[in-house]
Amino acid sequence: MKKAIIVAGPSGSGKGTLCRHLLSVYTFLKLSVSATTRSSRGNEIHGVDYFFWEVHAFLEAKDHGLLLEYEEVYPGRWYGTIHRIVEEIWQEEKVALFDVDVAGALRLKRKLGDNALSIFIDPPSIEVLSKQLHARGTESPEQIAIRLDKAPHEISQKHLFDKIVRNHDLWQAKIEIVKIVENFLSK
């Protein structure tokens, strides 16, 4: 069965941390490594965190139908789910885990239907997102502003997800997301 867990939420909502937690709990989950045209943050490894592609390579893959979904998540920065990577996960009989933006998550859910569970990570407030992004220190002030600008629209779409995890407390959120995934996969 080709099953999938789709996790989305604003930048700084903690979805990356929650995805890593899920991967540590369930060895049969495997992250779908996306392609992106942004550059590596330095500690990120090509093929592990992302496939870092040049814009022309990304657009070519998109035009050849090699991407299951893609978004220009931020101006000039493309991100996309690579078809072949997802198929390989399913061939290994594992469950695919997607860490994508809200638009991409909704698109994947429409494509995969009941075999996928979409989860929105709901942050306590925009102020908290801002704090997290500044504390993370991986983005320039301009990039942080772009990410924060996008958050209200993303949050307004949370009702379109199968489940919402409120991340007011990371420990609680970890427990909750594990329960939700457990419940979905045991069906």
Task: Please tell me whether residue 78 adopts helix, strand or coil conformation.
Answer: strand
Distance CA 7, CA 4 (A): 10
Residues near ligand 5GP (CB under 6 A) = 11, 34, 38, 69, 71, 73, 79-81, 99-101, 104
Smallest distance, Å, CB 187 to ligand 5GP? Answer: 26
How many CB atoms sit inside 10 A of residue 1's CB? 7
Helix or strand run (H / E) with residue 73: strand 67-74
Distance CA 67, CA 84 (A): 8
* Residue (73 or 155) nearer to ligand 5GP, CB: 73
* Residue (104 or 123) nearer to ligand 5GP, CB: 104
Rounded to 5°, angle at Cα 101 from 51 and 25: 75
Smallest distance, Å, CB 152 to ligand 5GP? Answer: 15
- Structural Rg of the chain based on CA atoms: 16
Smallest distance, Å, CB 41 to ligand 5GP? Answer: 8
* Residue (81 or 187) nearer to ligand 5GP, CB: 81
Smallest distance, Å, CB 35 to ligand 5GP? Answer: 7
* Residue (71 or 176) nearer to ligand 5GP, CB: 71
